[in-house]
Structure 1
Amino acid sequence: MPRYVAFFASMNVGGNRLTMAELREALERAELEDIETVVASGNVLFSYDDRPTDGLSEMLAFIVKDHFRFETFAAVRNAAEVRAAIENNPFRDTGEEKLVHTLFLDGEVDEEGFAKLLADHEGRGPERIAKGPRCLYIDYAEGVGTSRLTGDFIERRIGTRGTARNMRSLQRILDKMEE
């Protein structure tokens, strides 16, 4: 059975708090197998029938809404997609691994949205941004916490939701997926 990771957004922030044990229990009821959480920030590894990751994203978001009563987005990727997110990130060799991120999206970014993001961000900070398949690559050169390139800023310009993970977290997740 294929192994997947779900990168949940908006989990354990604001009022959307739940333990990873609660989430794991809800996912087990949905017949996901070999469930394992990695870091308590909404990274869930699981095995499930081979299927497109888009459908799994919708299913997991529904489970969270149904069981915990809040909206979330789950970017589901298989091991090959996580590996590609690491290897294809153009900033991974020139930025710090804790500052270089992949922002996993719930769809493709069109050229118009990406151009708007770049134009609106120009002069706002030192971050570098590149487009990938169902993702953006970002180097938060001076830190994520102080950056003006926030998730809301990005989502308003590209018209799609996302959730980011840094290179260190992605490598740790990929290592676990390939065990």
Structure 2
Amino acid sequence: MPRFAAFLGSINVGGNRLMMEDLRRVLRYEDFDDVETVVASGNVLFTHPECPSEGLAEKMAWIVNQEFDIDSFIAVRSCAEVHAIIAENPFGPGKENAGEENFVHTHFLSGEPGEHQMKALLLDHAGRGDERIAVGTRALHIDYVDGVGRSKLTADFIERRLDLRGTARNMRTLKRIACKLDKLE
């Protein structure tokens, strides 16, 4: 069976506390196999019969909402898609414009941003910070040059401009997840 990674948004921040043990238990009950969590911030590895990743994301989001009363955006990517998203990040390791791994993020999105949406995001962000932004496959790649904590380029800022939901992971976490997916395939 194919191996996938799910990236849950808004988990263990604000009031959305969720024990990873509880999440694993519920997902196993709902036909997700070989469920493993990575870091306590909503990264789930699992196997599932062949299914489009969008369908798996919807199924998992429904389960999280029903079982834990959390409305979470969930991005599901296959092992190959996780490797591809790392490779396409222009600020990732080995690239000419590489940034620090913990400052370089991929913001997984619920869809592809349109040209006018990206223009609005870049225009509204101009002068607000030194972040570098590049469009990816259903994602934004961002180098938070001065760190994420002080940045004005927040998830809410991005989502309002793009009219797409999303969740971000740094390069260090993505590489760790890719390695775990490789070992299990």
Q: Runs in 1 of length 4+ with deviation above 6 angstroms? A: none
State the distance in 2 between where 1:60 and 1:139 align: 29
State the distance in 2 between where 1:172 and 1:70 align: 26
1:119-139 Cα deviation digits (max 9, x unpaired): 100100000001011000000
- The equivalent residue for 1:9 is 9
What SS class does the counterpart of residue 12 from structure 2 fall into?
A: coil
Give the share of equivalent positions with the same residue, in percent.
Answer: 56
- Are positions 1:62 and 2:66 aligned together? no
1:109-168 Cα deviation digits (max 9, x unpaired): 111111100110010000000101100000000000010100000000000011001111
- The equivalent residue for 1:144 is 148
111, 116, 139: which one aligns with 1:135? 139
State the distance in 2 between where 1:159 and 1:82 align: 23
What SS class does the counterpart of residue 152 from structure 2 fall into?
A: coil
111, 115, 133: which one aligns with 1:111? 115
TM-fit CA distance, 1:105: 0.7
- The equivalent residue for 1:88 is 88
State the distance in 1 between where 2:58 and 2:5 align: 14
When the two chains are superposed, the root-mean-square deviation of aligned CA atoms in Å is 0.6
Matches within 5 A, 1:66-81: 66-81=66-81
- How many pairs does the alignment contain? 179
- The equivalent residue for 2:31 is 31
1:17-74 Cα deviation digits (max 9, x unpaired): 1100000011011110000000110000000011111111111100000001120011
- The equivalent residue for 1:42 is 42
Q: TM-score, normalised by structure 2?
A: 0.95
State the distance in 1 between where 2:18 and 2:106 align: 24
State the distance in 1 between where 2:15 and 2:102 align: 26
What SS class does the counterpart of residue 175 from structure 2 fall into?
A: helix
Q: TM-score, normalised by structure 1?
A: 0.98
Which 5+ residue runs of structure 2 have no aligned equivalent? none
TM-fit CA distance, 1:106: 1.0
Amino acid across the alignment from 2:12: N
State the distance in 1 between where 2:136 and 2:88 align: 8
What SS class does the counterpart of residue 169 from structure 1 fall into?
A: helix
- Are positions 1:120 and 2:120 aligned together? no
Amino acid across the alignment from 2:79: A
